Structure 1
Amino acid sequence: MHNLFIKRFATICSAVAIVASLAACGGSNQSANTIGFWDPYPQKNASSTWETFVKRCAPKGYKIKRTGYPQSDLLNNLTTAVKAGNAPQIALIDNPKMPTAVDAGLVTDIKAAGINTKGYDSNIEAPGIIDNVQYGISYGSNALGLYYNPKILEKAGVDPASIKDWASLNKAIEQVVASGSKGITFAGISGEEGTFQFLPWFWGAEGDLKHPKSQAETDALNLVSDWVRKGWAPKSVSTDNQSAAWDAFLTDQYGFSENGSWQAESAKEKGYGMIPIPGKSGGVAPVPTGGEFITMPTQKKADKNLSKATAEVINCLVDGDNLKKTNDEMVYLAAKRSVRNQQVKENQIWAPWVKPIEQAKGRTSDIGLKYEDVSAQLSEDLQEALNQR
């Protein structure tokens, strides 16, 4: 969700000391009964529940070798591995990077490999379907919302239910600041993470990524930069990532914070509430889909048995009751409505997130590879707006 973009042609490891570079960038050759599994969760070590969860999906006679890479490194390493002929059988790729992976020939048609792709939400799956071919499956998504501190809002006389559009949001922030608290935190850091948080305001003003230079962009930039100019948001937003923005909100000095569903449990512990991000003129602003796609990387040597076993692993992660278990493990909302409903039934913290997830938009769904340039331009414009003095 919130990662820096690589360029279309990823940097390849140096040809010098090839053995060492392959070890660093692409792993090593593995036995025929080993299924390589790469994901962008290096924080989940060998003793994590995720590691155990993944490995239990190994078919009889096979074992899974899981490797976690930083999100910013995974696609570079996969590029090297595919070229070297030692790619893993499974790789989890951040959803806006799917067009890049497809364009570089790094991933294959998973539907043709026997993955069950029926019944998933089209808005969540869209970034993985390119030229009518499905190259990955997204089991679930995270999303952005507007958290609030109920104690601060109560002191300021603000009813969160009254926030329906930008005008009522600005009025609420103004009341919060007038009552002696601080206004709002968000992440405006340069790069994709800042663009990710800016998009709900851009889309909420009826922006279209096909035409980024528009009145919608101007309106959205004016909205967030005015928060800084008026002192409602800290000047640090231009360098704050989502973690920093959340840490500021946890000080209980701010009334609002734009942040992700991955903070829902933390918010519950603190007694915070959440409302969907409002559109400029009302309604719920679309937010970007977050999360990863499970893909089957391109192999230089075809192995029918290994490919079949790989499909079994993926189906194990997403079929039936396991779809809910996978999403619960990753703290995502499932890409199937029936499973989301079950998640909400079991844990009410997910209830306010259903609408944002169901109305979310893929960043690359409409413009594919062009999103890299559009995202960079939006980021540059956002930086300029936030740093005006």
Structure 2
Amino acid sequence: MNNRTVRRTLAAAAVVSVGVLAGCSSGGGDASSDTFTWWDPYPQHAEGSAWDERVQTCGEAAGVAIQRTPYDTTSLTNQALLAAQEGTSPDVILLDNPAVSTLAETGMLSTVGELGLDTSAVDANLLAAGEVDGETYGIPIGANTLALYYNAEILDEAGIDPASITDWESLTAALEQVDGAGHRGITFAGINTEEGSFQFLPWFWGSGADLAQLDSPEAVEALELWTGWLDAGYAPNSVIGNSQNTTWEEFLTGDFAFVENGTWQVNAAAEADFETGVIELPARDGGPAPAPTGGEFVVAPVQDDADRYETTREIVECMTTPEGFVETAETFAYYIPPTPEGQEAFLADHPELETWVAAVQAAKGRTSDNLGTDYPLISEQLWTAVQDALSGSKTPQQALEDAQRAAEAATAG
């Protein structure tokens, strides 16, 4: 059996378990030679929206019509797996980057090499989220990530220059000054979901820790940083249940000096009732911490009709030119182009986003280090450890030791 046949066989076997999760859908199997199917996770962008027009333009450039179907993020992954089982995969999917390895490992995705796509200009740290066992499945259309927003009025009153915050020690000292000035320090999301892991990872990676060893001394130090802030009163008890949305709502009250949040809040920050700024999340010993990347990859499912791939390639290339990356960033207002050329062009019009470009350049994919489908199993144990430590039910050391044992058991198969 050749590699494609092996992948298709694996796909058929792997998706049986998810078939009950979603109903049937129309996909590539229903498309004609002049209509190509496209799925994405943007139901908020309806037909006729700027995003919908962006997609349709790429179809027109390839000489075909695009039949676009949006799903929410979780449903999209399930629908894609089911469609592969039924032989009705769409021609193109825009997929949340941690899910790329999930689909790739079933064998249902074509590699960029098979499609003849050139990814040499894409930043390696961003492309890594789509790499599995040395093969690349798809191209990021842009990226978002995390940083520290700050309330400039509080920092001014406390006598803090945000540029002086370069490592954990200087950040904690700033929180102490803020507290002494009668304000609240920092809020973040420690919720027991993927958002909790997403927000903890910059501190985890910024300590030098590795997801293959959750209970390393570096990992313990990162969790002690968070629990130390909570114990000192620099962070509120609400962080235990906070989502990223609720942390932002807390920040907008004007009570907090800092909030850890993402690129998607740029417009909301500009509209806040107080002056805001943003700095990169600091690593323990200085410099930017690697924050996890958010954002979607454009991927191409395997098709029975190989004649469709040439047009698929043209559609994907339209989405991934330097100009295309910038247009996508402009359309969403919170995506950073994934290539140096695209970033330079984007900054020419948006110099105020320089910090975000730098944060994306330092970012890291959650499934990088070839974690693939092991990542969600490890992540669940990580967010559980964060919860246990923040609640005080376990010390950071105990919580992470238990997490490591559970992660090893979960990924042993």
**What is the TM-score with the length of structure 2 in the denominator?**
0.86
Structure with greater helix share of residues = 2
CA separation of 1:218 and 1:170: change in aligned 2, threshold 3 A: same
2:42 maps to 41
Q: 1:240 to 1:116 in 2, by over 3 A?
A: same
For 2:179, the aligned partner's letter is V
The answer to whether 1:12 aligns with 2:31 is no
Query: 2:410 is matched with which residue?
Result: none
Match of 1:281 in 2: 285
Looking at structure 2, the residues matched to 165 and 61 of structure 1 have their Cα atoms a distance apart, in angstroms, of 52
From 296, 302, 306, the counterpart of 1:298: 302
The number of equivalent residue pairs is 375
Which residue among 216, 235, 246 is the counterpart of 1:233?
A: 235
The one-letter code of the counterpart of 1:373 is L
The Cα offsets for residues 241-263 of structure 1, whole Å up to 9 and x where unpaired, read as 11111111111111000011121
Identity of aligned residues (%): 39
Is the Cα–Cα contact under 8 Å of residues 264 and 349 in structure 1 kept in the other structure? no
Instruction: Provide the secondary structure at the position in 1 that maps to 2:282.
Output: coil
SS at match of 1:111: helix
8 A contact 1:147–1:274 mirrored in 2: yes
- Determine if the alignment matches structure 1 residue 356 to structure 2 residue 359: yes
Q: Give the 3 Å change call, closer, same or farther, for CA 57–175 of structure 1 in structure 2.
A: same
**Which residue of 128, 151, 156 corresponds with 2:130?**
128
Counterpart of 2:98 in structure 1 is 96
Conserved 8 A contact 2:244-2:261: yes
Amino acid at match of 2:30: N
TM-score after normalising by structure 1: 0.91
- Spell out the pairing of 1:1-389 with structure 2 (5 A cutoff): 11-14=17-20, 21-23=23-25, 29-59=30-60, 61-270=63-272, 271-299=275-303, 301-304=304-307, 306-330=308-332, 331-366=334-369, 367-388=371-392
SS of 1:258's partner is strand
Listed as ranges, the gaps of 5+ residues in structure 1 are 1-7
**Residues 182, 254 of structure 1: 8 Å contact kept:** yes
Q: Give, in whole Å, the separation in 2 of the partners of 1:149 and 1:307.
A: 50
Q: Report the RMSD for the aligned CA atoms in angstroms.
A: 2.0
Could you say if the C-alpha distance between residues 27 and 107 of structure 1 is closer, same or farther in structure 2, counting changes exceeding 3 Å? closer
Match of 2:58, SS? coil
- C-alpha displacement at 1:195, in angstroms? 0.4
Q: Secondary structure of 1:58's match? A: helix
Q: Is the contact made by 1:207 and 1:214 (CA closer than 8 Å) also made in structure 2?
A: yes
Partner of 1:5: none
CA gap of 1:37–1:26, structure 2 versus 1, over 3 A, is closer
Over 3 Å counting, the alpha-carbon distance change for 1:26 and 1:226 in structure 2 is: farther
Secondary structure of the structure 1 residue equivalent to 2:59: coil
Amino acid at match of 2:384: E
Structure of greater relative contact order (alpha carbons < 8 Å, 6+ residues apart): 1
- Taking a change above 3 Å as real, the CA distance of residues 27 and 70 of structure 1, as seen in their structure-2 partners, is farther
**SS at structure 2 position matched to 1:92:** strand
